[in-house]
A and B are shown apart, each in its own frame.
Chain A
Amino acid sequence: GAVVSQHPSRVICKSGTSVKIECRSLDFQATTMFWYRQFPKQSLMLMATSNEGSKATYEQGVEKDKFLINHASLTLSTLTVTSAHPEDSSFYICSTPGGPLSLNTEAFFGQGTRLTVV
């Protein structure tokens, strides 16, 4: 199956700083990348959808200026949490479909990033 490499797996940063999370598709071209966040003991909530070479589509309530998404190549998508605050502490995880969504392919996930803002 497809492999998605996400790093860092854990990061602790000071309030007000920015943190970049990377997701790389290792053995296929990921034209679409979904970014989720997960609060403790809660499910995954979709934040945004990025497509290679175009602007990301953000879900309602997600601040696009705070969560910057870049998908400049077919193998790399990044999420930057800008001016992080303690309430941004969460588990962030990326996902990409293994093929065109209309062809019923399964989704593959990165390992996730645990962000703690102190």
Chain B
Amino acid sequence: KQEVTQIPAALSVPEGENLVLNCSFTDSAIYNLQWFRQDPGKGLTSLLLIQSSQREQTSGRLNASLDKSSGRSTLYIAASQPGDSATYLCAVTSAAGNKLTFGGGTRVLVKP
């Protein structure tokens, strides 16, 4: 059974600092890994999708890496802004069962 873990569970940084969010998964047989952002009481916004054959994806200040063999992904957010405050979720689509399994999320607070 796929299990996804995110560390840390919460993170508070001053504005301008770079953010590093970690995600690990137990079964490396995945189709892809996605990073999402969720604001309080809202749905999910897809940030980055990394295919199983890829090692990283970049979008603006966001960069996500994937090391499938070790079951890890890292989301980097450069030069954080207060507007980056949200919960960040990673999820993997497993080859077995085609299901999306979520990590517990990291709650980020960027202080002005």
Contact = CB atoms under 8 A, between A and B. Distances in A.
A34 B100 CA distance: 9
A108 B42 contact: no
Contacts, number: 58
B76 interface: no
Interface of A is mostly: strand
A62 interface: no
Contacts of B44: 44, 93, 95, 109, 112
Interface residues of B, number: 24
A61 to B, nearest CB: 13
Contacts of A63: none
A16 to B, nearest CB: 25
Interface of B is mostly: strand
Contacts of B93: 101, 104, 107
A95 to B, nearest CB: 7
Contact of B43 (A93, A101, A102, A106): A93
A94 B3 CA distance: 21
Nearest to B93: A101
Contacts of B98: 101-102
A59 B107 CA distance: 27
Given A43-B89, A101-B31, 8 more contacts: A34-B99, A43-B105, A46-B101, A95-B100, A101-B93, A104-B32, A106-B34, A109-B46
